[in-house]
Amino acid sequence: MPITRKGGKPTQRINRAPSPLVARTLPWLAIAIGSVLPGWVMIASAPVMPPLGFLLFLSWRQLRPGLLPIWSGLPLGMIDDLFSGQPFGSAVLLWSAAAIALDIVEVRLPWRNFLTEWLVAVCLIVVYIVFSLMLANLAGADAPLPVIMPQIVIAVLSYPLVGRLVALIDRLRLTPFVVIR
């Protein structure tokens, strides 16, 4: 009897492999879409949306270290900068720095669990949001620190959810559906 999903058609798993194109491009695509998405959800009059692109970037690097190369902050950060409203280059700088910092932490702390991963990510998220504000202030804005507090709280609390989302996309990425000849 074939393996069936609940109520669905029998899924054929034998003799199938994941598509290399999907497996390679899906993380990049997910992060790029994550950079554009917060702007569409609502017209915000205060910084309240979490920086979804950065959260996805961090989550991918934590779930699959080495899947995205360490220089991936350059192209992905550029896409984020086009839509984020920050001075151009701020995401390139901060994402690259975050990738390097995360790599150093992972060398020091090889054994991982949910708590350490979350704590490391929380530190990086808080530093990222504060530095983003400072770079925006350098480029002409004059926003005080309390303005970004709600955003920090929302970003920190939504990070585990983003992690679940990334795990889901990762399963999708490695679904075998291409027939091997």
Applying CB under 8 A, which of residues 22, 23, 97, 126 lies at the interface with another protein? Answer: 97
Q: Which of 18/178 has CB closer to another protein? A: 18
> CA-to-CA distance for 19 and 24, rounded, in angstroms?
9
Part in contact with another protein (CB under 8 A); list of ranges 8-16, 23-31, 106-114, 169-177: 106-114
Q: Which of 132/169 has CB closer to another protein? A: 132
Told to check if 96 binds another protein by CB under 8 A, we report yes
Applying CB under 8 A, which of residues 17, 100, 119, 172 lies at the interface with another protein? Answer: 100
Angle between helices 90-108 and 52-63 (to 10 degrees): 30
Shortest distance, CB of residue 167 to another protein, whole angstroms?
14
DSSP character for 4?
A: B
Buried b vs exposed e over 99-113: b needs ≥16 C-beta within 10 Å?
Answer: beebeebbeeeeeee
Part in contact with another protein (CB under 8 A); list of ranges 3-11, 18-26, 109-117, 169-177: 109-117
Buried b vs exposed e over 33-60: b needs ≥16 C-beta within 10 Å?
Answer: ebbeebeeeeeeeebebbbbbbbbbbbb
Structure tokens at 111: 């054994």
Inter-residue contact 62 to 102 (CB < 8 Å)? yes
Residues 118-177 that bind another protein (CB under 8 A): 132-133, 135-144, 146-148, 151
Residues 30-59 that bind another protein (CB under 8 A): 36, 38-52
SS3 17: strand
Applying CB under 8 A, the residues found at the interface with another protein are 36, 38-52, 65-66, 69-71, 73-74, 77, 81-97, 99-100, 103, 110-113, 132-133, 135-144, 146-148, 151
